[in-house]
Amino acid sequence: MKAVFKLQVKMRRKLPLMTSLGTGNEFCHLETFRARCHHGDVIVMETALFGRMRVGRCIKSDAYLTALQQLDPTSLGCSADVLDYMDQVCSGRSSCEVNVASPELHEFRTCPGQLTMYLEATYSCLTSKTLF
């Protein structure tokens, strides 16, 4: 007899995303995205972008960035939707980790040159139930 697995939505909780440097949904180049749910809950990735979306915690506005944007306006505002990749790695599990500097993420590189990129991701935890 095969076991039938069904995802039952009892409670959808958005949990704060933790990095080694604080909370938020920006994960800088040398950081690790970590998703964790309580026992019996599973991760459901909601959004995941990889690139240089905007000035923020990972990309500071400074004289270098201003000069770079004048030379190449595409140096900021570029991104790839990596939700499918993050779903494969994280969704359906109780925890997962993705190093932002990993070669797998960098296969999605859409930004020009060797500019540092970051991951922006959100997830929820859903209660799962096994039926036999």
All domains of the chain in start order, with CATH: 4-131 (2.60.120.740)
Cβ density class 87-109: b for 16+ within 10 Å, e for less: bebbbeebebebebeeeebeebe
Q: What is the pTM of this model?
A: 0.74
Q: What is the pLDDT of residues 35-54, one digit of tens each?
A: 999 888 999 999 999 998 88
Q: What is the pLDDT of residues 50-91, one digit of tens each?
A: 998 888 888 877 766 677 766 677 678 889 999 999 999 999
